[in-house]
Copies of this chain bind each other. A is one copy, B any other.
């Protein structure tokens, strides 16, 4: 439960100051349920913080990433997207409209182990993305 509270606790523990901007960015990330870009966040908080700089958004997203609260997702053509870290999950991405849907799937630990064994890497984590066409885009397709 209360992810925001836990996130703020993490910031306190790691000695990162809690500013109104950081609070708002975290809150937005947690509540949005989407995978917003830095600019999405910037625009969404424009009303609350008319003077906030876009650099603040980027800076804080980097800070959040460094303390493990946020994951940065990059795709070919668009700008980076940011995902609040909850449980381990993967993404199913529509190649037509860009929609990203979370997908829970347990246990690719064995892949990490095998990769480590074969390559000699010290493996930390992994990332899996599945590409396709979402139901909405499929139904709009011309036959």
A residues with a Cβ closer than 8 A to B are 72, 74-76, 80, 90, 92, 94-95, 101, 103, 105, 108, 111-112, 114-116, 118-135, 138
Contacts and interface: CB of A to CB of B under 8 A. Distances in A.
Complex copy number for this chain: 2
A121 B132 contact: yes
A131 B135 contact: no
A93 to B, nearest CB: 9
Given A80-B76, A92-B115, A132 B122 contact: yes
Contacts of A118: 103
Instruction: Count chain B CB atoms within 10 A of each CB in A72, A130, A134, A138 and give the residue with the most.
Output: A130
A58 to B, nearest CB: 12
A105 B116 contact: no
A131 B127 contact: yes
Nearest to A137: B122
